[in-house]
Amino acid sequence: MTRHLLDLADLSVEEWDALTTLACDVRDHIDRYAHVCDGRIMATLFYEPSTRTQMSFQTAMLRLGGRLIGFDDPNSSSVAKGESLKDTIRVVSGYADLIVMRHPLAGSAKAASLYSRVPVINAGDGGHLHPTQTLTDLVTLRLEKGRFDGMTVGLCGDLKHGRTVHSLIKTLSRFPTNSFVLISTPYLRIPAYVRAILDRSGCAYREVDRLDDAIDTLDVLYMTRIQRERFSSIEEYHRQQGVYVLDAAKMDRAKPDLIVMHPLPRVDEIAVEVDDDPRAKYFEQTEYGLYARMALIMTMLQHPEKRLPDTLPVGSLHRCGNPHCITGREPYVPRVFRREGDTLVCDYCDEQTLRP
């Protein structure tokens, strides 16, 4: 298993199987795991609001017998005094055995991993990725559908800014028998790098504007919130808001074995009446997130060696064009790009940046 968890797609299908198998065992025998992390300390550094991710990580560590440090309001830490991400991570990685970090900038977890002596788990880096939500989603699929492949998966809502969507597509497109229906307004379509991954995957996919045009074909419907905080203009948010609402009438047209997932929080995109439909699995999903994170913490703490990375990558002279990339805000982070065809792609945020 990789030392850090920055992107679930960095793991193999076998590793996903192992983690979800362990999560299912935790669910069935949680007491057996009560002392696995005795004496271990996990830091949760939340630079952005969170309910489920933060509390499920904290509960997971407490249920494993470990202890916690951290902050959920960067203004109550030295970040408010202007401390860099690098310095915070260097310091905290001297205190804790594991760091769980959520941050508003894309690529922040990867940047943090360069300066950490202990494993870093990405708990959401801006609008980029959210690997532990996807691990939660895999546990949900395993328990509720019994498989990760051979499904028609609909993703609906803010596919542009929704990090849960990006991580889930990257992961489920590893199985060529999955197909995707991407349901959004033209403004909220998936980013170019996610589209490139889908194009390379061999999975069939189509894009539609209306949920009504797809719902009867789906095995899984993944609803998402319109991500107000990631819009550059509030007027644009108001234009996109409230476009998608899953209600009982729409559910009447869906397959009897559809499952409805949502990373939560919900705003108005699922009517409350749907909660009583047995196909609604979003509250179960939150519970599975606890088991998923217990499995992940145990797995990552199996290799307790504390050391700094041997070398830092060599920085490039190019700049990433994404205004929400960590390399623009923390200038010491070495800028690294990979070449894909005739395009340079930022290694932190995946933005296709330059055509030299």
- Return the structure tokens found at 196: 């490139």
Q: Minimum distance from CB of 169 to ligand NCD (Å)? A: 14
Tell me which amino acid residue 142 is.
R
Pick the closest to residue 222 from 134, 279, 156 (CA basis): 156
What are the beta bridge partners of residue 182? 155, 207
Report the C-alpha gap between 120 and 89 in whole angstroms.
Answer: 9
Binding flag, residue 164, ligand NCD (CB under 6 A): yes
Alpha-carbon span 16 to 71, nearest angstrom? 29
Q: Characterise 310 by phi-psi region: left (phi > 0), alpha (psi -120 to 50), beta (else).
A: alpha
184 binds ligand NCD (CB under 6 A): no
Minimum distance of ligand NCD from residue 137's CB (angstroms): 10
On whether the CB atoms of residues 163 and 48 are closer than 8 A, the answer is: no
Does 124 bind ligand NCD (CB under 6 A)? Our answer is: yes
Nearer to ligand NCD, 52 or 189 (CB): 52
* Residue 225 and residue 269 in contact, taking contact as beta carbons nearer than 8 Å: yes
Rounded-to-integer distance, Cα 100 and Cα 171, Å: 21
* # chain residues binding ligand NCD, by CB under 6 A: 11
Can residue 152 be called a binding residue for ligand NCD (CB under 6 A)? no
Which residue lies nearer to ligand NCD by CB, 136 or 322? 136
Shortest Cβ distance from residue 27 to ligand NCD (Å)? 19
Per rule CB under 6 A, is residue 324 in the interface with ligand NCD? no
Among 130, 166, 174, 293, binds ligand NCD (CB under 6 A): 130
Residue 334 sits at the vertex; the CA angle it makes with 164 and 46, to the nearest 5 degrees, is 40
Residues 6+ apart with CB under 8 A from 252: none
Using CB under 6 A as the binding rule, the residues of this chain from 224 to 243 that contact ligand NCD are 225, 227
* Dist CA 335 CA 345 (whole Å): 11
Is position 128 an interface residue for ligand NCD (rule: CB under 6 A)? no
CB contact at 8 A, 48 and 103: yes
Quick note: the x/- pattern for ligand NCD over 46-85, rule CB under 6 A, is ------xx--------------------------------
Q: Is 45 in the site for ligand NCD (CB under 6 A)?
A: no
| Minimum CB–partner distance for residue 284 and ligand NCD (Å) | 14
Q: How far is the CB of 133 from ligand NCD (least distance, A)?
A: 5
Which residue in this structure is represented by tokens 């390379």? 200
Q: Report in angstroms the alpha-carbon separations of 226 from 273, 296, 344.
A: 20, 28, 29
Q: Which is nearer to ligand NCD, 131 or 337 (CB)?
A: 131
Where do we find the tokens 């300390």? Answer: 41
Q: Residue 124 CB, nearest distance to ligand NCD (Å)?
A: 5
Asked if 292 touches ligand NCD (CB under 6 A), the answer is: no
- Residue 47 CB, nearest approach to ligand NCD (Å): 12
- Using DSSP, state whether 115 is helix, strand or coil: coil
Minimum Å gap between C-beta 230 and ligand NCD is: 10
- d(CA 285, CA 299) in angstroms, rounded, equals 21
Give 131 or 328: the residue with its C-beta nearer to ligand NCD.
Answer: 131
CB of 224 to ligand NCD, least distance (A): 6
Tokens of 193: 């790098």
> Using the rule CB under 6 A, is 138 a contact of ligand NCD?
no
Chain positions contacting ligand NCD, by CB under 6 A: 52-53, 124, 130, 133, 163-164, 225, 227, 263-264
